[in-house]
Amino acid sequence: MSLQPMHRVQRFARSVFSTAPSPEQIAWASSFLTEPESRLFLRMPNVDQSHCVGVARSVAANLDRVDLEESDPAAVWLMAAALLHDVGKSVSGLGTYGRVVATLSETLGGSEMGAHWAERGGMTRKVGLYMQYPQLGSDLLALADSDPRVTAWAAEHHLPPEQWTLPLNCALLLQQADDGRL
C-alpha cells in the first residue's frame, strides 16, 4: 500500500465526517451480495460501508465501460467486489486515527512488518492486522464462498496492475471508483 498523500487526506476527511449508510443504501448493496457476504458487509464499520457503497455506486454508473448494465447478472460479481474490497479492515478493529497510525507505520516500517506486528498484542497487533487487510479480506470472502473474482480483488486492489488477475477493464473500473477518479 503506497502513501498517496492526496488520496489519504481525502479519505481521512471523509472518514471523520462519514455517516452510516441509509437503510435504502444497505438494501441496494445487499441486493448484489449473498447472505454470507451481506453478513461480512454488515460487520464492516459504518465508514467502510459508506465508502464501499460509494465505490459501488460509481461502478454501477460506469458499467457501460465494461459493456454491462446494473441489472445484468454478469455484473453481480463486479458490484460485490466494489462492496467488499475493504472487508478485511474490519478484522483489525482500528478506528480512523488508528488507521492513520497503521498507514504511517506501513510507509515507514514496510509492509512486511505487518505479519510480525500481528503476532504481538494490543495496538501493535491491530496495526499489524490492518496492514494485512487485503489478504485477510480475501480469506474472509473465500470462507464465505464468494465468487473467486471478488476474493481476488480484495487481495489485489492495492497491487500494481501487472499483478491483477481480473480482466483489466474491470479492475481499472474498480480501482478508479475506489480512488474517486470516476
1 pLDDT higher than 90: no
Burial (Cβ within 10 Å: 0-12, 13-18, ≥19) of residue 101: middle
Model pTM score: 0.87
| Number of Cα atoms under 13 Å in the Cβ half of residue 35 | 0
CA distance 2 to 148: 25
CA–CA distance, 59 with 68 (Å, rounded to integer): 10
Name the least confident of 13-22, 103-112, 114-123, 142-151. Answer: 13-22
pLDDT in tens, 5-58: 665 566 665 655 678 899 999 999 999 999 999 999 999 999 999 999 999 999
pLDDT confidence of residue 44:
96
Please check whether residue 129 is in contact with residue 106, taking contact to mean a CB–CB distance below 8 angstroms.
Answer: no
- At 37 the pLDDT is 98
Q: What is the pLDDT of residues 127-168, one digit of tens each?
A: 888 889 999 999 999 999 999 999 999 999 999 999 999 999
Q: Residues 54, 56, 58, 63: what is their CA dihedral angle, to the nearest 10 degrees? A: -170
